Structure 1
Amino acid sequence: MPGKSIPAIRLRGQVESEKIEVLFRNTSFALITNLLLSAGLVWVLWNVAEHQTLIGWWAAIIFLIVVRLALLIGYRRRGAASTLPWHHYLTIATMLAGAAWGAAGILFFNPDSPIALIFITITLAGITAGSVASYSSWRPAQYASIPTALPIALRYLMAGGDFWIMGLMCILYLFNVLASARQISRVLDESIRLRLEKQGLVRQLQDEKRAAEQARMRAEEANLAKSRFLAAANHDLRQPLHAVTLFVQALRHSPDKARAGEILEHLEASTRSLEGLLNELLDISKLEAGLFKPQISVLSLQDIFDGLERELRPVAEEKGIELGFVATRLEILSDPQMLGRILRNIITNAIRYTDRGAVLVGARRKKNGVAIAVYDTGQGIAPEHHQAIFREFYQLENPERDRRKGLGLGLAIVDRLCRILDHPLTLRSTLGRGTAFFVQAPLAPEAARLRETDQEDVPARLEGWSVLVIDDDAVVRRATAEVLESWGCRTLTAESTEEALARIERASFVPDVIIADYRLREGRTGSEAIAAVRKAVGAHIPALILTGDTAPERLREASASQYLLLHKPVHPGRLRSALAGLRELVREPGP
């Protein structure tokens, strides 16, 4: 449908602009016509009319020609920011010119000179007809023909005798000219509208074609990135898993207890490496699922710096480089956990890729906020890699995928967290001279500093607690039960909701807490299982959900369940803390 490609208001504005352009374009021809016809009229009437009146009339015509010419030149030379209503000024000048021509029909009406009368009548008729071509694009300017033709028509009617017929013909002629002008104006308006709509549709098709091409290219790039991502993740997951398999086999055949202890240390290191990779993969999935919700508060940058210094200084000292933090009193608005993660990843990355020298962290007040900077004296990053380093699993100078050099996810997480917090992230780097990352955060207003007091961890006592474990993986059920029983808990395990309900009834088992995997068999979920057990027992039993699913849509579903959510693999200490927190909940009567 016409008009879909261009909004109606915008289209009307474009049509009006085109009509004004046509008005000024035709004005130059009208000015030449006015000059020639006025000179001819003066020549014909020179021996008939009074010279002083004739010259004065012609001077007025010339003056109005000059005025309109000046308006035409001004319109052509106007700047893009000009807001002057040039077309209104031209319309007024045109109406005055029409009145000046109409005055000739009264001033020089001489029945005794048929030649002069005929010439005046034909000249005014020509000027009136010319207005159709010159001013039909702009309706207000069309009415200049009225003061041009109407005075001589009235003069003919006033002359009496046979002249009244000429007067009547002049009036009819004027109406015909005005009707023709309106018709031409409508046709011109429609043709301009159709042309603009056609151009708009062509541009829209071209834009859609370009957008489709860009979407195709982005899809291809995303597909390639996904392939690279999966290949790298597959490699990095298999490495520690391969090591775990070998260490387990070595442990099984090792009679030496000292040797077995050493193997256990290596086994634990491999599982930590695997856990670290899975946690970073989980963070990427959480970011894609939109589960990171910033909790903005007033933060002391010095507190953030102190915590990072305590955590990362041993890492820098182990590598033999200096890690420095510039003291600051600045306070900002940000999320403490997310900002800490951003700076930790950047600093860790800087330490990893700096062989000698130092890593310096500081902050400086800017006009529009606070710039937190991390400088290093490393090898620097070539300009062609400045965008690529923020892609998942992209690492410079690590083709062998050495896990000691990281997993290539740190800066990808930094980039996404900065976008969530609306903290602009910039990078400056020179090969051979080091790199600087800048995180821009808003300056906190003058307000009391909000501090969170750290609570000391109290060892959780879980002896005698009854725990129901629902998981469709037999190995996971057995491992979870072993850990819980080592803490003094009574456990009951089941692979489905139905089995859990049946075993609870047979054993008269009333759980103090429920641990359920989110995704069970046959499309069931842990949320449904918890609700069914609560209904059967008749109590609002505290519960937590475990999930190993990293698909963004699954994470959103699990997060929306309102239960405490932990992501596999769960460290036993984290599980114990979560259970201790749940134990504080008081049972409430169920439905």
Structure 2
Amino acid sequence: MACTSTRPSPGLPLDLGQPRQAPDNAGPRERALLEENARLHRIVTALMERVESAGMAGDAPYAAFEHAVLLAEQVRERTETLQHTLAELHAAKAEAEAANLSKTRFLAAVSHDLLQPLNAARLFTSALEEHRLPAPSTRLVGNIDRSLKDVEALLGTLVDISRLDAGVLEPDITAFPVARLLDVLAEEYRQMVASPGLELHYVGSSAVVASDLALLARVVRNFLTNALRYTRRGKILLGCRRRPEGIEVLVADSGPGIPEAQRETIFQEFQRLGDHHDAEDRGLGLGLAIVDRIAGMLAHPLRLTTVPGRGALFSILVPHGRLSPVVHQPLAVSGPGQASVLEQARIWVIDNDPGICSGMAALLEGWGCRTLTATSLGDLENKAAGERADALLVDYHLAEAGIDGLAAAARLRERQPGLPVVVITANHDTAIKGLARQLGYGCLLKPLKPLRLRMLLLDLLGSRSG
């Protein structure tokens, strides 16, 4: 029979003993079994020697086995601890993301409520600027308007950075003539150049690009604001260059330039260049940080070229676009001949804020328009009494249940097909802009920029009369 052994104690060498010798009177079967036992004994002995030689020095195989079991248990416990920690991290991340989104929604709601009176105030100051006032009053109106622009810029910057951080800002990519954007910006910033030794030079372009017009405008505005902030004398250039991969929209200035050490840091939050800003400059140092994030989201490469003491050039490369067969012509800068398009034009305004209605009426009437304002669709229908309009300006958020600006415009268009419509809203949701565009409406964001509204009306009314 084969030899037997008891279970060894942990940590002691495993003793297999010696195989039995066949007795002289053993039969053939017993001898065969004993020979097989001896052969197996030799095999086991060789295997144990190999295990011992490959195992831990000075330990027996069973001790090595126990050590391996202990390590496996430790690995299992640590894996469970790691999984528990990861679950807690995921829960904390989800909670932080929810809090960030809640903060963004709160800022969006607060900004909407703040933008309403701010929009009305901007309309009133713009209307006052259209009147001939004594020099002291003109200066006061100018100071009020600059202060309101500061509030608008700071509020817009905070909302933008919050929406970018939360990842809720989605681009609305469309094809449009780049002149539709740059013509307006050139006219807007030409009026802001107050230094006698500073000149804004604009080179127009007929190129068509594909981008989000509002976000691209944000980028170029920050370029222009930055150039205006640091350039006291000389020139600021706004224009385009045609590249094989797209249109490079650029802003160059003859300012102090940017030192090598600051060319990366200026794109970080709350970073400002040197000491070239004055007491009236209330920026947060977020402009170029927002530019960098928007350009990354749009996948539009940025470029900075600068020579200290000679100026800087900021540019963004925008892909080529292709217009659909039916499209408005680029907005034309208003002139003496075009201003007559607004004379006696009948403009309807719907906004649930009476202050905005009053401010819009003052602004439009200063341009020579005849206005009819209402706080709801029903109010307008009662006041219109069968009259017709040349254009409709309608707020997206109305107080009437189940009726927004798009629905109100659709109902009025049933009565007057082809009525030009401009939707005005403080909601930056891309879905609203996309739907307005599909319906053939213009869309402007609050706080309303009067120059942008004027040029859009000139475009709509001029195209209709043409």
Give TM-score scaled by structure 2 length: 0.53
Matched residue, 2:454: 576
The answer (yes or no) to whether the contact 1:334–1:441 under 8 Å persists in 2 is: no
The answer to whether structure 1 residue 534 and structure 2 residue 413 are counterparts is yes
Structure with higher RCO (Cα < 8 A, 6+ apart): 2
Shift of 1:468: 1.8
How far did 1:513 drift? Answer: 1.9
Give the drift of 1:271.
0.9
Match of 1:421 in 2: 298
Cα drift, residue 259 of structure 1: 8.9
Equivalences for 1:398-477 in 2 at 5 Å?
A: 402-404=279-281, 406-423=283-300, 456-457=332-333, 459-460=338-339, 461-477=341-357
Structure 2: which 5+ runs fail to align? 1-13, 52-70, 201-208, 321-328
Q: Which of 45, 69, 83 is residue 204 of structure 1 equivalent to? A: 83
- Report if aligned partners of 1:316, 1:351 keep a CA contact under 8 Å in 2: no
> 1:71 matched to which residue of 2?
none
The CA distance in 2 between the partners of 1:352 and 1:545, in whole Å, is 32
Q: 1:140 aligns to what?
A: none
Match of 1:529, as an amino acid? A
What pairs up with 1:258-337 in 2 under 5 angstroms?
260-275=134-149, 277-278=151-152, 281-282=155-156, 285=159, 288=163, 290=169, 292-294=171-173
Matched residue type, 1:463: E
TM superposition shift of 1:485 = 3.5
Report the equivalent of 2:421: 543
Q: 1:291 to 1:543 in 2, by over 3 A?
A: farther
User: What is the letter of the counterpart of residue 353 of structure 2?
Assistant: D
* Other-structure match for 1:107: none
- Give distance in 1, aligned partners of 2:459 and 2:369: 15
2:376 touches 2:400 (CA, 8 Å); kept in 1? no
**Whole-angstrom CA distance in 2 between matches of 1:211 and 1:426:** 37
User: Is 1:498–2:372 an aligned residue pair?
Assistant: no
Which of 508, 511, 522 is equivalent to 2:389? Answer: 511
Q: Distance in 1 between matches of 2:105 and 2:260?
A: 27
**1:123 aligned to 2:62?**
no
1:560 aligned counterpart, secondary structure: helix
1:108 is matched with none
Pair 1:386–1:218, CA change in 2 (3 A):
farther
Summarize the Cα distance change of 1:420–1:508 in structure 2 as closer, same or farther, 3 Å threshold. same
* 2:175–2:211 contact (8 Å) kept in structure 1: yes
For residues 445 and 292 of structure 2, the distance between their equivalents in structure 1, rounded to whole angstroms, comes to: 23
Distance between the aligned counterparts of 2:88 and 2:319, measured in 1? 44
Structure (1 or 2) with the larger CA radius of gyration: 1
Q: CA deviation at 1:117?
A: 6.2
Shift of 1:489: 3.4
* Aligned-partner SS, 1:419: helix
Q: Distance in 2 between matches of 1:417 and 1:129?
A: 73
Aligned-pair CA distance for 1:569: 3.3
For 1:475 and 1:225, locate their aligned partners in 2 and report how far apart those are by CA, in whole Å.
27
What are structure 1's unaligned runs of at least 5 residues?
1-32, 46-110, 136-191, 252-256, 324-332, 445-452
Shift of residue 379 of structure 1? 8.0
Aligned to 1:67: none
Question: So what's the TM-score if we normalise by structure 1?
Answer: 0.44
TM superposition shift of 1:124: 3.2
> Within 2, Cα distance between the matches of 1:439 and 1:193?
59
Q: Is the 8 A contact 1:423 1:441 kept in 2?
A: yes
C-alpha displacement of 1:496: 1.0
- Percent identity over the alignment is 24
Determine the C-alpha separation between the residues in 2 that align with 1:582 and 1:245: 23
Shift of 1:472: 1.9
**Following TM superposition, by how much is the alpha carbon of 1:517 offset from its aligned partner in structure 2, in angstroms?**
1.6
Contact 2:392 2:422 in 1 (8 A): yes
**Partner amino acid, structure 1, of 2:458:** A
Following TM superposition, by how much is the alpha carbon of 1:565 offset from its aligned partner in structure 2, in angstroms?
A: 1.2
